[in-house]
């Protein structure tokens, strides 16, 4: 289908983009890679009166280390993230997650900021951001604020971002040296969204779990932090009994819907299995 008509703006600075968004009001939408927004416009699920293309604002791109965190511009593409040596070295969980998003064509255009802002629980970045304890920088008419990924996602297509705010940067603390990681994603075919996926960051301490972060993709209206599973693992060795318990507790946190990827029961079981596999893979990479 052909989208409804809209005005098009391509500001060259963040200040101009914020001003435009404020003056055009909530019927205007920001355009990043367009891989989520344009299909919705073609189906007329979204009929914005104007698009504000962020593509000409160079400041919104790039990956850099600042102290103990990695800062990623919201308009950085999945392709750039995957090719970044800094991300591969300092944030291997993100590097592994990005490699499983869609396919190379989508990754050339799709941006980390668009993936997060869209608020789609099927997207992979939201749970990766929860597992990595990321924060998001939002710029609006009243200035800038920084919000934690944990709590940012409110429901399907709903986040804490106000209509007049732009996500400008993602800040991710560099995990402790020796941390293990894994993003285990079950999908029906290459390029598909997750049937269920688990992001795990793990620190071992003398043969037992020192700290662990577990977040789940596409098994509820938002990405899910599997807190009870995390709490149950701390201080324990990772063996069949503790892995089974963690998988059970992760499953208890899920509330997926029925769709062509499977029934709620199947997706919940797969979330448990992805949790188990991600924990095992993270253990094999962790240094005690
Ligand atoms: P856009 O589509 O341009 O924007 C998405 C939404 O976010 C819009 O509402 C827009 O207004 C808003 N927005 C964009 N940037 C900002 C910003 N900086 N501040 C505030 N709001 C903003 N994603 C996955 O995670 N995993 C997958 O497996 C996956 N598979 C895919 C397969 C296909 C075939 C396709 C087409 C897409 C797939 N995607 C997948 C989604 C893809 O990664 C998208 O690119 C991503 O969800 C949105 O990023 P975008 O840059 O294209 O954003």
Average pLDDT, integer, range 260-282: 97
Phi, psi angles (nearest 5°) of residue 63: -135, 125
Q: Decide if pLDDT at 256 tops 90.
A: yes
User: Of the residues 26, 46, 110, 217, which should be mutated to test ligand 1's pocket, given the most ligand atoms within 8 Å of the CB?
Assistant: 110
Residue 34 in contact with ligand 1 by CB distance below 6 A: yes
As a whole number of angstroms, the distance between CA 244 and CA 240 comes to 6
Which pLDDT does position 174 carry in this prediction?
A: 98
The pLDDT score that the predictor gives to residue 190 is 87
Task: Report whether 166 contacts 143 (CB < 8 A).
Answer: no
Q: Which atom of ligand 1 is nearest to the CA of 157?
A: 9
Cα 282 to ligand 1 centroid, rounded to whole Å: 28
Ligand 1 pocket, residue 115 CB under 6 Å: yes
Task: Tell me the C-alpha distance between 213 and 227, whole Å.
Answer: 8
The residue assigned the tokens 């009870």 is 228
pTM score, two decimals? 0.97
pLDDT of residue 288: 73
Q: What stretches of the chain adopt beta strand conformation (E)?
A: 7-9, 28-31, 50-53, 63-66, 69-73, 135-140, 143-148, 153-155, 158-159, 166-173, 180-186, 196-205, 208-217, 224-225
Q: 7-51 maps to which CATH number?
A: 3.30.43.10
Choices 3.30.465.10, 3.30.499.10, 3.40.1010.20, 3.40.50.2000: CATH for 65-172:
3.30.465.10
pLDDT digits (tens, 9 = 90+) for 169-192: 999 999 999 999 999 999 999 889
Distance 119 CA to ligand 1 centre (A): 9
Pocket perturbation via mutation, ligand 1, pick of 27, 102, 190, 215 by most ligand atoms within 8 A of CB: 102
CA 78 to ligand 1 centroid distance, Å? 10
Distances (CA, A) of 228 to 81, 98, 246, 254: 31, 26, 8, 12
Ligand 1 contact via 48 beta carbon (within 6 Å): no
Q: Kindly give the distance from the C-alpha atom of residue 159 to the centroid of ligand 1, in angstroms, as a whole number.
A: 14
Q: Is 31 in the pocket of ligand 1 (CB under 6 A)?
A: yes
Q: Is 21 in the pocket of ligand 1 (CB under 6 A)?
A: no
Q: What is the pLDDT of residue 2?
A: 87
The minimum-distance atom of ligand 1 relative to the CA of 60 is 18
Q: State the average pLDDT over residues 260-287.
A: 97
Whose alpha carbon is nearest atom 31 of ligand 1?
A: 102
Q: Are 191 and 274 in contact, with CB atoms under 8 Å apart? A: no
* Pocket mutation for ligand 1, best pick of 24, 34, 114, 193 (most atoms within 8 Å of C-beta): 114
Tens-digit pLDDT profile for residues 28-61: 999 999 999 999 999 999 999 999 999 999 999 9
Q: Is the pLDDT score of 105 beyond 90? A: yes
CATH number 3.40.50.170 is the correct assignment for the domain at 180-285: no
Instruction: Round the average pLDDT of the chain to a whole number and report it.
Output: 97
Spell out the domain ranges in the chain.
7-51, 65-172, 180-285
* 124 pLDDT above the threshold of 90: yes
**Arithmetic mean of pLDDT, 129-141:** 98
pLDDT digits (tens, 9 = 90+) for 196-251: 999 999 999 999 999 999 999 999 999 999 999 999 999 999 999 999 999 999 99
């Amino acid at each position: 289908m052909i989208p409804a008509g809209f005005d098009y703006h391509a500001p060259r600075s963040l200040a101009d983009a914020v001003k435009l968004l404020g003056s055009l009001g909530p019927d205007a939408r920001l355009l990043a890679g367009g891989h989520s927004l344009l299909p919705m416009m073609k189906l007329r699920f979204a009929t914005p009166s104007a698009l504000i293309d962020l593509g000409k604002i160079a400041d919104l791109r790039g990956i850099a280390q600042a102290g103990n965190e990695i800062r990623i511009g919201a308009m950085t593409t999945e392709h750039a993230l995957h090719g970044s040596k800094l991300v591969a070295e300092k944030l291997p969980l993100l590097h592994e997650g990005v490699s499983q998003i869609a396919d190379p064509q989508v990754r050339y255009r799709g941006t980390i900021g668009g993936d997060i802002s869209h608020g789609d629980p099927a997207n992979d970045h939201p749970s990766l951001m929860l597992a990595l304890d990321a924060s998001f920088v939002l710029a609006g008419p009243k200035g800038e604020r920084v919000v934690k990924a944990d709590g940012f996602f409110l429901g399907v297509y709903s986040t804490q971002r106000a209509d007049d705010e732009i996500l400008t940067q993602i800040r991710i603390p560099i995990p402790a040296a020796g941390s293990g990681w894994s993003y285990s994603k079950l999908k029906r075919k290459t390029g598909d969204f997750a049937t269920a996926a688990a992001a795990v960051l793990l620190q071992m301490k003398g043969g037992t779990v020192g700290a662990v972060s577990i977040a789940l993709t596409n098994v509820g209206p938002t990405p899910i932090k599997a807190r009870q599973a995390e709490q149950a693992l701390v201080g324990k060795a990772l063996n069949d009994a503790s892995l089974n318990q963690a998988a059970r507790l992760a499953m208890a946190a899920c509330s997926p819907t029925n769709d062509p990827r499977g029934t709620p029961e199947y997706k919940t079981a797969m979330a448990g299995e992805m949790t188990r596999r991600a924990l095992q893979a993270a253990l094999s990479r962790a240094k005690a």
